[in-house]
Chains A and B, each alone.
Chain A
Amino acid sequence: SDLHCCYKEKCQQVLEPPYDEMVAAHLRCTYAVSNHDFVEAYRCQTVVVQYPLSRQKDGSVYLLGTHSAEQQLQKKGKGKVGDMLEKAAEQLMSCFRVCASDNRAGIDDSKKWGMLFLINQLFKIYFKINKLHLCKPLIRAIDSSNLKDEYSMAQRVTYKYYVGRKAMFDSDFKLAEEFLSFAFQHCHRSCQRNKRMILIYLLPVKMLLGHMPTHQLLRKYDLMQFAEVTRAVSEGNLLLLNDALAKHETFFIRCGIFLILEKLKVITYRNLFKKVYLLLKTHQLPLDAFLVSLKMMQVEEVDIDEVQCILANLIYMGHIKGYISHQHQKLVVSKQNPFPPLSTVS
């Protein structure tokens, strides 16, 4: 407490109110963080956060600073993570509302500049506590804002990263590719770690759209877990795919991409069946041939009915051009381009 008074006095000597109290609180916070007392640090941060709410005019400069600390301790908070995160989210939400409704100040002083930063912090929290549906109003707010392209690139990259991940979760892969590609391309060259994080989500989406990553890329960003998956999918090797997914299951599940990678099975079926077509060199393919190929890949308990269903799905999705004749138990494919390139399909 001595220390606190000391901070406060010093600050009062140097700064105007309310900056003096804010900085004093911030100093207390950093002191607490250095002592690994995150609960106390959080309390100090809460004090700091209250100030912008009551100020008449101000910039979001100190908002940027304070929240990085808040977020740090959210990550490291012991035990009561979920609850602390929700409380932090509430605080941030109230700041956000203040910023969003700031119509008084001119564009240079407006609190609206703080919006994207706050939204990114909120996204981080919502993804951590797995409440993605709460992102929707925030996305709507940015979409309707006229400042959306004026924010700094760093903030925009972060924003696109989270929105891309949300699109993935909603199975909107075209949109996800757009956002994540933007984030990856515009992410600063030196931020390897961030680029890697973006890539973890961009890769499955690209693979679903038929674009396989090169080995070089995977090695550069230390993502060799995807190497076997990539190889399996392009070769149509279901056995290898299942093995690869099982081997790195923990990693994929933790990142939340396991389910999306499972969707690659359809692409793998397509590649496998294309091989069968190329081998048999005819456009009237017996269904039995496909059944044999699946059995070779050690797919459990597959019968001719299921083969027809898998083929039906591929035809429906446009991966195969043709039809099935049940009477002749054959798949009849188009003479021209029966297996259209993956990038042209849906």
Chain B
Amino acid sequence: MKVIFLFIFSPKTVYFCRFCRGFCSRGRGRGRAQGTRWQQGQLKEECQDESEPRGTCMRMCPDRELREREAQKRLHRFEVLPGTEKDRLPRADPARTVKEYSRPAAGKDCVRAHDLRPPSVLLETVCYLIDHVAVSPSLQPWTEVYDFVFDRLRSVRQDMIIQRTSGPECVAVLEKTVRFLIYASYRLRDEPLRLYDPRINDTHLQESLSWLLDCYSHGQHPHQEEMQALGLLYNLGSNRALQHALELPERVREAPAIRLALAVNRAHLERNPVRLLRLARQLDFLQSCALHRHLGACCRDLLLLYSHAYSSRNCRFPLQRLAHILALEESQAAWLCQAHGVTVDREWVVFSKVSYTEAPTKDLRGLHFCELVDSKREAHCCQDHPWMCLRLAIFVDPCIIFPISLKLLIVGGGVF
């Protein structure tokens, strides 16, 4: 029994392959396909278990865990009942306590139904996490908010995996997760490693994204175009992502978001950074967040190409023009040039094949693509939700199918 749960906890079954002396995964397709098959009742011999577990916990956090963490003083500060923070034993606020992620391990008890949240509650949990925690201006610092939301979202996904969820709630949860992680990848890009690890964020983002894209292969989904485009931009330069997008049905591929994302990818394929950066101006805020991690490399590539093409003794290139092409402020453009060995002489850039260096001599974390990313925040917020004049308006889903239910809050007993 335990072994089976270990198997289904992780999205991929990982086994140690003697052959390549590494961990090989059986891939998501298999796991998800099994999930769908469960519900269609086929291949009964595959399942060694009786039936898929169905959660019955109607709160964001199962009672048992709430009491346990309260007693062990392991509540997060966002979960504590206001007014009891300084007590010897702070009380949990049932309306704000969320089930945390716990690593599955041999020797742990089997998961019980009343510890699992059904899909509808999972979606409500995610809505709470995004709309009331991630977006909240009063919760600081954001790295702490990120850690909390990241962990709780992971626990939501864990519940979904155990219950082999699929369907609109699953899709909605994953969409919000992907949006959050993409935003976080931009927002926290300058944070030190001890506070934010971009690689861990990337791993979870890729997993959620590929799970989501898997779900999209069956049925109609209103946000598919948006998410496919985000995936394409985040994975710029990946042949696999590009091939996947080209194989989408024509109706989907013709959507403006995907066409733009494909055009950006094509510019990258052709090695045309000028075109790429020009197209990038047309992306909206979240799309720019998805793309931004590649912008540095694009700029670098441009400097490399120009170092070769303009490498002549009397050649001078106007800094202003370069800054415009790179969509950076002049001072930033000059700084980037110098970091790559490109000489800047007042308002002129002197390219030279010989002096260009690939590895930047300075830490590039101070680079700010204001025009390409930051400035779009406000625009995004105003056009979708003017009443939420916040940086993170992107998370409120205009087509929300499952609004936060009051029942949840009443059952929780808290006054919200």
Contact = CB atoms under 8 A, between A and B. Distances in A.
Contact of A262 (B269, B305, B312): B269
B334 to A, nearest CB: 17
A223 interface: no
A285 interface: no
B270 A262 contact: yes
A274 interface: no
Nearest to B17: A137
* 5 tightest A-B CB contacts, nearest first: A312-B309, A137-B20, A309-B274, A312-B305, A323-B312
Interface string A245-265: 000000001001011001101
B232 to A, nearest CB: 13
A305 B274 contact: yes
B309 A311 contact: yes
Given A305-B325, A309-B302, A323 B247 contact: no
Interface string A30-42: 0000000000000
A82 B309 contact: no
Contacts of B275: 306, 309
Nearest to A305: B274
Interface string A308-325: 111111011000000111
A259 B269 contact: yes
Interface in B181-215: none
10 contacts: A80-B33, A86-B27, A129-B27, A129-B29, A169-B239, A259-B239, A301-B278, A309-B305, A313-B272, A325-B315
Contacts of A265: 270
Given A93-B19, A262-B269, 11 more contacts: A82-B29, A97-B19, A259-B269, A266-B271, A306-B272, A308-B274, A309-B274, A309-B302, A312-B305, A313-B270, A316-B308
Interface string B42-64: 01000000000000000000000
B315 A326 contact: yes
Contacts of B34: 83
Contacts of B302: 309
B37 to A, nearest CB: 8
A325 B26 contact: no
A310 B274 CA distance: 9
A327 B274 CA distance: 19
Given A263-B269, A306-B275, A323 B20 contact: no
Interface string A159-184: 00000000001000000000000000
B19 A313 contact: no
B395 interface: no
A291 to B, nearest CB: 13
A131 B269 contact: no
B310 interface: yes
B310 A326 contact: yes
Contacts of B5: none
Nearest to B247: A253
B351 to A, nearest CB: 9
B33 to A, nearest CB: 6
Contacts of A324: 309-310, 315
Interface of A: 80, 82-83, 86, 93, 97, 129-131, 134, 136-137, 141, 169, 253, 256, 258-259, 262-263, 265-266, 301, 305-306, 308-313, 315-316, 323-327, 332
Interface string B273-316: 11100100000000000000000000000101110111110111
Contacts of B240: 130
A82 B30 contact: yes
B222 to A, nearest CB: 25
A137 B19 contact: yes
B266 interface: yes
Given A137-B20, A266-B270, A315 B247 contact: no
Contacts of B321: 305, 326
B120 to A, nearest CB: 30
B315 A323 contact: yes
B239 A134 contact: no
A98 to B, nearest CB: 12
B94 to A, nearest CB: 42
A308 B321 CA distance: 12
A313 B304 CA distance: 9
Given A306-B272, A306-B274, A309-B275, A327 B246 contact: no
B243 interface: yes
Contacts of B270: 262-263, 265-266, 313
B24 interface: yes
Contacts of A141: 19
A326 B314 CA distance: 10
A326 B239 contact: no
B43 to A, nearest CB: 8
Contacts of A316: 304-305, 308-309
Contacts of B318: 326
Given A97-B18, A310-B272, A323-B309, A256 B315 contact: no
Contacts of A310: 272
A256 B243 CA distance: 7
